Amino acid sequence: MQLLYQTHSPYARKVLVFAHEAGLAGAVEVIHHETSPLRRNEAVFAANPLGKVPVLLRPGLPAIFDSDVICAYLDTLHAGPKLIPAEGEARWRALQVQAMAQGLADAGIAIRWETQRRPKELRYPALRDGYVEKLLASYDWLEREFDIEGVVDIGHIALATALSWLEFRELPTFRHRPRLTRWFDEFSKRGSMLATPLWGQTHD
């Protein structure tokens, strides 16, 4: 399998960390592709009409895109404990935290558009502030509700990669939440995280 990847994408990194945690990293060839709404990448568009990574290319089978879908597929390919719980409250907790992580990354990207990427004369400070408020409220929720003692699952992976990206981009920090910070610092020591560092800049 080939994973169309971007070294500074929180969504792509989630998939690669998941592959490491599932013992599948050796089965995936990582191919870096730069993508941006302002720069069309023909190779990525050929596999995903949304023009975004990650995309998983499977020999003889259709491509799979969106990080949630790719992770769900990878979870069917290994014999170890499933990283997406199959049933019960564990499943809904894991999927909820994954959704929260997705929202954190989405909000961070929106903040970057309104502070760095959009031309200055077109930036909308009130919109930026609204997304910052979403980040801070989400950090507070995680500080109260996140199960830091649970077995590693898709929620942990998605959250760790989202928080790591928010720090990488120097966006509003979660580090005033001690419980969340301790968990993140410990998770960041895992081999899957150390093997997949973020690097590079977006090229619009």
Q: Are residues 66 and 99 in the same domain?
A: no
Which residues of the chain are under the pLDDT cut of 70?
A: none
pLDDT digits (tens, 9 = 90+) for 75-112: 999 999 999 999 999 999 999 999 999 999 999 999 99
pLDDT given for residue 39 in this prediction? 87
* Predicted local distance difference test score (pLDDT) of residue 201: 84
**150 plus 181 within the same structural domain:** yes
CATH code where residue 9 lies: 3.40.30.10
Containing structural domain, residue 180: 88-191
Mark which of 42, 74, 106 sits at the end of a domain.
74
Asked whether residue 116 falls in the same domain as residue 64, the answer is no
Domain annotation covers residue 40: yes
SS3 assignment, position 32: strand
CATH of the domain at 181: 1.20.1050.10
Both 110 and 185 in a single domain?
yes
- The count of C-alpha atoms lying within 13 angstroms of the C-alpha of 83, restricted to the half-sphere facing its C-beta, is 28
pLDDT at res. 147: 86
Whole-model pTM over 0.85? yes
Cβ atoms of residues 77 and 22 within 8 Å: yes
pLDDT for residue 25: 97
In a domain, 166, yes or no: yes
**Count of structural domains within the chain:** 2
Residues 100 and 186 occupy one common structural domain: yes
Same domain, 133 and 159: yes
DSSP codes of every residue in 35-48: -BTTB--HHHHHH-
Residues 187 and 99 in one domain: yes
Q: What is the pLDDT of residue 150?
A: 79
In a domain, 136, yes or no: yes
Distance CA 142, CA 125 (A): 26
Pick the closest to residue 97 from 159, 148, 139 (CA basis).
Answer: 159
Tokens standing for residue 74 = 């990878």
Paired with 65 in beta bridges are 55
